[in-house]
Amino acid sequence: MSLAVVASRNDVPTIEIDSDRLLADMRALADFGKVGSGVHRRALGSVDMQARGWLADRMRAAGLAVEMDGVGNVIGRTPHARRILIGSHTDTVPNGGWLDGAMGVIYGLELARAFMAAGGGGEIGLEIVSFSDEEGCFAALLGSHSFVGEMDRDAMLDRVNEDGVRLADTLEAVGLADKAAARFDPAIHPAYLEAHIEQGPVLEAKGLPIGIVTTIVGVRGWKISFHGQADHAGTTPMAMRLDAGAALCDFAVRIAAFCRRESGTHTVWNGGDIRLIPGAHNVVPERADYIFSFRDPSAALLDRIAQEVERLSSVVAAEHGVTSEAGQIFAMAPAAMDETLMGLMRDAAEAEGAPSLDMPSGAGHDAMVLARHVPTGMLFIPSIAGRSHHVAEDSAPEDIVTGARVMARALTTLCRTIALP
């Protein structure tokens, strides 16, 4: 699936952003849930709902028809029968940064405002979306999953947030329980664009202002458990122990060595959680649990690592005289971005005098959900020191503005050349 283009139509206005207005709105949004230089805005909480209300007002003032749907997605539409989707999210992780998600939504607001101010002509318009709960307060990427019809809303209603409050009760409390879910429609929505901060250090290290996302990497998470026997750590000879902890440590070293040997340029892995039971200095561990996750743009490479996790865990268990279980606990498939949209953004960056880098995204985004249904493009700007999911998250104002200008130029070309559904 690659986006089809036609000869240029000249009834579409040139979209020119107002950089002061863009930055002012981004700062205004950051005031909702401000924590020092960062933001704490958990999905569907009172601060998040105030921010959604503010965004809806800004969209209305820009001349958009606004809807807040049954999971909290805020959607602003120009009055066109067919509309290019532009979005991201305005919820944050606990004590997160002010740009993660928010930047892409405010880009959308400013692009729609500039488009409408320039006459809003042509047969194709814009639809700006702030997807609900991208950060997984109740369920990761909740809003985008709902939007593309991949979520069974009723099955989700019993999910609880970190305060133990059910999604059903939350939706009731904020007045969304009886609202319908807004839906993606291929006859209306021919493309999706998302801009985001990189959340990593690559663009800054290379001194490049724009990243063109090629693929959002896939991720797999595995839980590996070793079962041995708890014994006195002083009296049991080494050769007679069934030490689940020693097996785990051995496994952790050997699976990392395998990943180093087999990895591609963009493979990353993480042993982020270890639990030894009973967890006492004078007891041989009877059980050891390890959460191991790995990411790569290639599903085939992810398969290879998964096979090795399974094989190696039983080999190591046998060597240590313990037993093991290994099972996948989460998985997300890699999502390829659309070549035509990548090319449009690359050309737009060049025309703006902003050199770009083709790169994968190591983080998940709403774009990975949309990409299964509609040609999708994603643009990155640099994160200072690569910091994100932290109050220290920031980007240079000139990079924020450059990213918006590149989006505006790419979007103008897209509106003029996209084959209408």
Q: Which of these ranges, 101-109, 206-214, 251-259, 383-391, lies near Zn ion under the rule CB under 5 A?
A: 101-109
Smallest distance, Zn ion to C-beta of residue 389, A: 9
Residue located via tokens 């990213």: 403
**Segment 359 to 388, residues that bind Zn ion, using CB under 5 A:** none
For residue 300, count other CB atoms closer than 10 A to its CB. 8
C-alpha to C-alpha distances, 387 to 197, 202, 402, nearest whole angstrom? 10, 11, 20
* DSSP letter string, 297-321: S-HHHHHHHHHHHHHHHHHHHHHHT
Smallest distance, Zn ion to C-beta of residue 371, A: 15
C-alpha to C-alpha distances, 238 to 19, 228, 231, 235, nearest whole angstrom? 68, 13, 11, 9
Give strand ranges (E) for 190-247.
192-197, 210-216, 218-227
Whichever of 100 and 127 has its CB closer to Zn ion, that residue is: 100
Whichever of 100 and 110 has its CB closer to Zn ion, that residue is: 100
List beta partners, residue 39. Answer: 34, 96
For the window 43-82, what string marks contact with Zn ion as x by the rule CB under 5 A?
----------------------------------------
Choose, by CB under 5 A, the member of 101, 190, 334, 377 that binds Zn ion. Answer: 101
Smallest distance, Zn ion to C-beta of residue 122, A: 30
**Segment 81 to 100, residues that bind Zn ion, using CB under 5 A:** 100
Smallest distance, Zn ion to C-beta of residue 67, A: 22
If one asks whether residue 393 binds Zn ion (CB under 5 A), the answer comes out as no
CA nearest neighbour of 189 among 376, 327, 328, 21: 376
Whichever of 76 and 87 has its CB closer to Zn ion, that residue is: 87
3-class secondary-structure state, position 63: coil
- Buried-exposed string 57-94: b where 16+ CB fall within 10 A, e elsewhere: ebbeebebebbbbbbbbbbbbbebebbbbbbbbbbbbe
Asked if 244 and 285 touch (Cβ cutoff 8 Å), the reply is yes
Smallest distance, Zn ion to C-beta of residue 42, A: 14
If one asks whether residue 104 binds Zn ion (CB under 5 A), the answer comes out as no
Total of residues contacting Zn ion (CB under 5 A): 2
Smallest distance, Zn ion to C-beta of residue 154, A: 27
Whichever of 101 and 382 has its CB closer to Zn ion, that residue is: 101
Residues that bind Zn ion (CB under 5 A): 100-101
